[in-house]
């Protein structure tokens, strides 16, 4: 069970997150610095049966009082386009292994050791700033893979986007076949590799990590944009 101290540290963290979101709310403010997030494979372990609880707190399942094993992490970021404009009403899904290296999937290794207090999958709908938030655990290795978190982003006007994020400084990254797909591009590496840093004042060693997802235009987006432009011209 979490201590009162951890509750206050999380509340303070969320307050700072809300304040920080305003600093990025201006459309296109840092567009010249944005790098497209490279898409990566969904992999075989997207849940084949979704849990009953699919909220954005993966550390506690439903209303139970027992928390999952692992280093609690506040995972935040924004979903935006290459201009830095937020993508609103995007459904962000994440899934990852528990502290024992098990997915919530019938084919997962170590399935018999799965931490039943870890939700394993969560969802969050972005608002006006494109911001998302999850409370989860710092990822651990899966047999044959470096620690990572899977992301799938579902949008109304764009095809769904799938990628993964990794721990900065993790030695196993360099030997991971999927991570190495972007290893030749320093910008792409930076786009999917994030810091997991201690939350100041946390009495239980909580961490924070920020992973911004920048989704570039696709041919389908361009075609939709041309159609919308045509409709606007016909109205004039």
Read off the pTM.
0.81
* CATH number, span 4-235: 2.60.130.10
Task: Name the residue with higher pLDDT: 7 or 115.
Answer: 115
Give the pLDDT confidence of 70-93 residue by residue, as tens digits: 999 999 999 999 999 999 999 999
CB 131 within 8 A of CB 107: no
Letter string b/e over residues 137-175, b meaning 16 or more CB atoms within 10 A of that residue's CB: bbbbebeebbbbbbbbbbbeebeebbbbbbbeebeebee
Least-confidence region, from 56-70, 108-122, 212-226: 212-226
DSSP of 167-216: ETT-GGGGG-TTGGGGTT-HHHHHHHEE--EEPTT-SS--EEEE--EEE-
Cα distance between residue 48 and residue 234, in whole Å: 46
**pLDDT tens-digit readout, 34-67:** 899 999 999 999 999 999 999 999 999 987 778 9
Domain layout of the chain by residue ranges:
4-235
């Amino acid at each position: 069970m979490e201590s009162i101290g951890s509750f206050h540290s999380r509340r303070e963290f969320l307050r700072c997150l809300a304040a920080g979101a305003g600093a990025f709310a201006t459309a296109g403010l840092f567009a010249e610095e944005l790098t497209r997030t490279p898409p990566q494979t969904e992999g075989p372990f997207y849940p084949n049966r979704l849990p009953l609880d699919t909220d954005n707190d993966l550390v506690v399942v439903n209303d139970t009082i027992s928390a999952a094993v692992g280093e609690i992490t506040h995972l935040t970021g924004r979903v935006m386009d290459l201009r830095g404009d937020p993508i609103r009403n995007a459904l962000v899904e994440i899934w990852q292994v528990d502290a024992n290296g098990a997915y919530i999937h019938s084919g997962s290794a170590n399935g018999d050791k799965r931490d039943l207090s870890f939700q394993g999958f969560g969802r969050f709908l972005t608002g006006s700033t494109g911001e998302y938030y999850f409370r989860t655990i710092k990822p651990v290795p899966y047999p044959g893979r470096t620690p990572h978190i899977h992301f799938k982003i579902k949008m109304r006007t764009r095809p769904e986007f799938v990628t993964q994020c990794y721990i900065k400084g993790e030695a196993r990254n360099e030997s991971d076949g999927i991570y190495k797909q972007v290893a030749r591009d320093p910008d792409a590496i930076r786009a999917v590799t994030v810091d997991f840093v201690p939350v100041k004042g946390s009495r239980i060693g909580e961490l924070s990590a920020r992973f911004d997802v920048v989704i570039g235009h696709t041919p389908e987006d361009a075609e939709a944009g041309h159609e919308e432009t045509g409709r606007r011209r016909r109205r004039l």
